[in-house]
A and B are shown apart, each in its own frame.
Chain A
């Protein structure tokens, strides 16, 4: 009998759901952070190894001679810095334009080279400046041939500027890649191998994505020797904003954009209904002098349900998407389920409070009913 009463209680269900979530996340969804030791020839000796040497044979570099003149050295330094900056920029994600996106969840993105856009803008400024100068000259010119030449040049400049202006650069350019963006994913860039932190890096080369990591392949004189190697992966990582981009076709991109648009609309409706309309309905009913009405209790229960469902609605699709792309996403990229759940825990606490209020209202309703039926 007591168990039956306990099962009837909504709070019991809240705790049961929370416990289930905890168990699922703790035992089934914990990211695998173990690194296999097959790369190392002598894994048994790991505990005794005190030194590690890693030779980088996959990256090439060059140095400039001391005999070069100072200005040439400066130019070289500058160009090297530019190249390294550009490489760094591309490796950190490059130019990404996010289209439709849910914050901290999913979205779509286009990647294209924005440098050309900047060049085009520079050209546009240059052309408009030239046009302005030519118009000035045209007013002063008297020679017919000169006037004709200036007019032709102005016409040409106007046509070029208009052609570029009518269609945005983003739509004109053909070399674009389409992605699903998942957020927030962390790149586990270091592994604790046995005593040393070895940095992993995400690299982009020739529109292909790699992870640079270390292979330990020999142990000599109690020293472990390793080298850098590349592993090609199917995802792009943007360090700024912790976005993981998975390449998709244009067709999928368009479909996904529509779906996300619909989902945004539904979420907005959900938020407006659950967090604005329902509380408003309750307040109106209370202000009319009828607080302990069945409809109020139902509304409060609904609000509590929506509040409780919200963190799960955020988390479950994430888990589902992670599961769907489990083969594409390398284990170095992971998102913390608990962190995501904790960030939405306010909703859960609020839902429990609203449930308590609903219970109080239910008691009030019962008392009122009893009072009304006392003759």
Chain B
């Protein structure tokens, strides 16, 4: 699925760890890792809302659409 999750970029920008984010959002670290690594199949609006609120960003800052070729290049 050529939707890339740029959560790690936003976390780096806000200088926040994944553990802290997962604690504040109320999602397990394992699930947050799945989201960060792009293995997740779907994301709830409520989760997206929480993440955007904590990281003070827009959903577009976290999610990005890529075409197939660029996605394959990125994922190796």
Contact = CB atoms under 8 A, between A and B. Distances in A.
A370 B35 CA distance: 13
Nearest to A374: B42
A132 to B, nearest CB: 89
B39 A373 contact: yes
Nearest to B36: A375
Interface residues of A, number: 5
Interface string B23-50: 0000100011011000111111001000
Contacts of A370: 41-42
A96 to B, nearest CB: 67
A369 B42 CA distance: 11
B47 to A, nearest CB: 6
Contacts, number: 23
A269 B44 CA distance: 50
Interface in A329-375: 369-370, 373-375
Contacts of A373: 34, 39-42
A196 B52 CA distance: 95
Contacts of B42: 370, 373-375
Interface residues of B, number: 12
Nearest to A373: B41
A369 B35 CA distance: 14
Contacts of B43: 374-375
A373 B27 CA distance: 13
A375 B34 CA distance: 8
Contacts of B27: 375
A37 to B, nearest CB: 74
Interface centre among B39, B41, B44, by most chain A C-beta atoms within 10 angstroms, is B41
A375 B26 CA distance: 11
B1 to A, nearest CB: 11
A373 B34 CA distance: 8
A375 B49 CA distance: 12
Contacts of A374: 40-44
Nearest to B39: A373
A342 to B, nearest CB: 47
A363 to B, nearest CB: 15
Interface of B: 27, 31-32, 34-35, 39-44, 47
14 contacts: A369-B41, A370-B41, A373-B41, A373-B42, A374-B41, A374-B42, A374-B43, A375-B27, A375-B31, A375-B34, A375-B40, A375-B42, A375-B43, A375-B47
Which are the 7 A-B pairs with shortest beta-carbon distances? A373-B41, A374-B42, A375-B35, A375-B40, A375-B31, A370-B41, A373-B40
Given A374-B41, A375-B42, 9 more contacts: A370-B41, A373-B39, A373-B40, A373-B41, A374-B44, A375-B31, A375-B32, A375-B35, A375-B47
